[in-house]
């Protein structure tokens, strides 16, 4: 099965159940990544907090020191980070790009805890590390109250990586395709997605491991995914854990992939499952040519500080 042929790339979101036993959760993630590989996926995604319950009381207990990009052409030290070792082995064994959801990270530098996503490439190289930039601190009356900042620190940079040539020794038609990574609440910040979709990142696919809940999921999950895809004319894939009614935080599920036209091209329900789609970059170019908003922007009008100064002067 040709899966990175022409201008198309097969991606899979693994909507896995998160077991409170980290070893079981890792083994389950492995099982679903292998199923995605059997479906021909070249870029595979896990959800937010796939090795740990999404619960602030668990983050310090589950946190691991994680490697930094540029430091792990060599095998990850599994005695330091079991999770990084599992992700790296999977990416290398199957020659895939693996966006390893997110996991609690304890920084060896300052002992702070972050909500962090690691991406490994087909050779097992660590391509990217994204620390959740916007922490999920909300209080919706009658709905959900959550304060990540009670235990987590926020990241302070954007993250993207580029696909390389030579997956499975086939020439990779998508070499150079840039993929931006955000985590869950990050999707609510349109400026962040737009920054990833513009130079110098120029990402054409945005991936969000995420875990919306039973209040915000039905209200906003699909809307945000489609909006970020449409307003930036990019593909967006958002990968949730499967719903688990016995967990302290109930994830909404409904992982999905939206196209640059703003339509959902693949989705699932709340159960443990895979979402697979072929990302067609010709389609992206068609949409951008048909409705060229990226070229028609008028930032000089939107610059409110400058405008206010001009209006005050006249
Ligand atoms: N869990 C999150 O980070 C975000 C979320 O659930 C929401 O924005 O809603």
Q: What's the mean pLDDT when you consider all of the chain? A: 93
pLDDT at 36 over 70: yes
Q: Which residues line ligand 1 (CB under 6 A)?
A: 136, 184-185, 188, 211-213, 216
pLDDT, greater one: 164 or 230: 230
- Residue whose CA is at the smallest distance from ligand 1 atom 6: 212
pTM assigned to the model? 0.93
Instruction: Summarize pLDDT for 81-99 with one digit per residue, the tens.
Output: 999 999 999 999 999 999 9
The pLDDT tens digits of the residues spanning 269-310 come to 999 999 999 999 999 999 999 999 999 999 999 987 767 777
Catalytic residue among 14, 22, 42, 48: 48
Catalytic residue among 52, 76, 184, 239: 184
User: From ligand 1's centre to the CA of 169, what distance in Å?
Assistant: 39
Give residue 165's pLDDT.
61
pLDDT at 167 over 60: no
- Mutation test of ligand 1: which of 211, 227, 254 has the most ligand atoms closer than 8 Å to its C-beta? 211
pLDDT of residue 309: 74
The pLDDT tens digits for 96-125 are 999 999 999 999 889 999 999 999 999 999
Give the pLDDT score at 2: 38
- The pLDDT score that the predictor gives to residue 164 is 82
Q: How far is the CA of 212 from the centre of ligand 1 (A)?
A: 5
From 146, 218, 255, mutation site for ligand 1 pocket: most ligand atoms within 8 A of C-beta: 146
CATH topology for 8-313 is Nitrilase/N-carbamoyl-D-aminoacid amidohydrolase (3.60.110)
Clarify whether 184 is annotated catalytic: yes
Complex ipTM: 0.99
The stretch 172-193 carries a mean pLDDT of 91
Q: What pLDDT is stored for residue 168 in this prediction?
A: 43
Residue 121 Cα to ligand 1 midpoint, Å, equals 27
Predicted pLDDT at 6: 64
Question: Which stretches of the chain are assigned E, i.e. beta strand?
Answer: 8-15, 43-45, 97-99, 103-106, 113-120, 126-131, 137-139, 145-147, 160-162, 178-181, 205-209, 235-239, 256-258, 264-267, 273-280
Encoded tokens for 228: 């970020």
pLDDT value, residue 70: 77
CB atoms within 10 A of CB 109: 7
Beta bridge partners of 280: 8
């Amino acid at each position: 099965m040709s899966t990175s042929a022409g201008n198309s790339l097969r991606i899979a979101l693994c909507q896995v159940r998160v077991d409170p036993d980290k070893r079981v959760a890792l083994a389950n993630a492995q099982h679903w990544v292998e199923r995605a590989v059997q479906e021909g996926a070249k870029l595979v995604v896990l959800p937010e907090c796939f090795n740990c319950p999404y619960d602030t009381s668990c983050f310090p207990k589950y946190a691991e020191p994680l490697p930094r990009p540029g430091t792990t052409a060599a095998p990850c030290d599994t005695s330091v980070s079991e999770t990084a070792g599992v992700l790296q082995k999977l990416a290398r064994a199957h020659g895939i790009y693996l966006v390893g959801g997110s996991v609690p990270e304890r920084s060896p530098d300052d002992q702070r805890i972050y909500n962090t996503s690691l991406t490994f490439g087909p050779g097992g190289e660590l391509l990217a590390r994204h620390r959740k930039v916007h922490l999920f601190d909300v209080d919706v009356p009658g709905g959900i109250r959550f304060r990540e900042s009670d235990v987590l620190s926020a990241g302070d940079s954007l993250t993207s990586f580029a696909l390389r040539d030579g997956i499975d020794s086939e020439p990779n038609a998508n070499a150079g395709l840039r993929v931006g990574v955000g985590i869950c609440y990050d999707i609510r910040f349109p400026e962040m997605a737009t920054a990833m979709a513009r130079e110098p990142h120029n990402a054409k696919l945005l991936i969000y491991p995420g875990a919306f809940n039973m209040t915000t999921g039905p209200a906003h999950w699909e809307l945000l995914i489609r909006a970020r895809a449409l307003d930036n004319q990019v593909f967006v894939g958002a990968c949730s854990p499967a719903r688990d009614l016995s967990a302290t935080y109930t994830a909404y599920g409904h992982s999905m992939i939206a196209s640059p036209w703003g339509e959902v091209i693949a989705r699932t329900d709340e159960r443990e499952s895979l979402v697979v789609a072929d990302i067609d970059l010709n389609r992206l170019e068609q949409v951008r040519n048909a409705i060229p908003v990226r070229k028609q922007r008028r930032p000089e009008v939107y610059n409110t500080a400058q405008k206010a100064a001009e209006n005050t002067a006249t």
